[in-house]
Amino acid sequence: MPDLGFEVLLKGKNMARLLGGLGTAMQISMISVAISIFLGIIVGILMAWKNPISRAVTRCYLEIVRIMPQMVLLFLVYFGSTRAFGWNLSGELSAVIVFSFWGTAEMGDLVRGALDSIPAHQYESAWALGLSSGQVYRYIVLPQTVRRLIPLAINLITRMIKTTSLVLMIGVVEVLKVSQQIIEANRMSSPNAAFGVYLVVFLLYFAACWPISLLAGYLEKRWR
């Protein structure tokens, strides 16, 4: 069996550092996910409104986010804002801003899709029972929307977690950056470490996303 350089991970605090890096990545993605879900629901409701102005504005927002690579957004917020406005945003904060901006748009579109999929008759039968529009949303539309959203939102969340690997480009020391550092530092002693370390990184990402997928599967079954 070729030397895959696993022993590097056992040196010093390397494994702990790697886990710390994963922690940073998870922190950024979880904060962004929380913000995205909250704002995404509001944006999604605006998108589903029949109002042409709210439709146009949210449509533009969604298209911008879809067209712009996340990397460009990261550079724009991290480097651009410093030059243009003199703000000194930390890498982590920039990352949270960008991922929330992106996640909100994507989440909003998912919410809009789920809202649109609730048949008009559901609203009508609820109105016919005397429920006010607020109550119709709260008790009828939102619970059904959430159930339809779960699988789609989980997909988005795992994508957000995976995309946090980009933040190493703006100097945030997350799991991928740590692994690069470890590989660099051990270039001479274990030149094959790249494979082993990246394999572990792969497993770490898997370990982070797998439970979320399991949860989604469980909720889908329970709410079918």
Partner 1 sequence: MPEEVLAIRHLKKNFGELTVLEDISFSVGEGEVIVIVGPSGCGKSTLLRCINGLEGIQGGEILLRGTPVPKKGKDLTKVRQKIGMVFQNYELFPHLNVLENILLAPMKVQKRTREDVKEEALAMLSRVGLESKAESFPRQLSGGQKQRVAIVRTLCMHPDILLFDEVTAALDPEMVREVLDVILGLAEDGKTMLIVTHEMQFARAVADRVIFLDNARICEEGTPELFFDKPKTERAREFLKTFSFQRKSRKRQEVS
CB of 108 to partner 1, least distance (A): 22
CB of 152 to partner 1, least distance (A): 17
CB of 113 to partner 1, least distance (A): 18
Residue placing its CB nearer to partner 1 in the complex, 126 or 160: 126
CB of 224 to partner 1, least distance (A): 8
Tokens of 15: 């494994």
Residue placing its CB nearer to partner 1 in the complex, 129 or 207: 129
Within its chain, how far is the Cα of 220 from the centroid?
A: 20
How far apart CA 50 and CA 19 sit, in angstroms, is 47
Q: Where are the alpha helices (DSSP H) in 11-167?
A: 14-48, 52-67, 70-75, 81-85, 91-116, 120-128, 133-135, 142-163
The CB-side HSE value for 68 (13 A sphere, CA atoms) comes to: 21
Residue placing its CB nearer to partner 1 in the complex, 18 or 142: 142
Residue placing its CB nearer to partner 1 in the complex, 146 or 209: 146
Binding site for partner 1 (CB under 8 A): 121-122, 124-132, 135, 139-140, 143-144, 147, 223
Nearest partner of 115 among 61, 58, 30, judged by Cα: 58
Residue placing its CB nearer to partner 1 in the complex, 12 or 143: 143
CB of 144 to partner 1, least distance (A): 5
Q: What are φ and ψ of residue 118, in 5° steps? A: -80, 120
Q: C-alpha distances in angstroms, 7 versus 85, 110, 197, 203? A: 47, 44, 10, 16
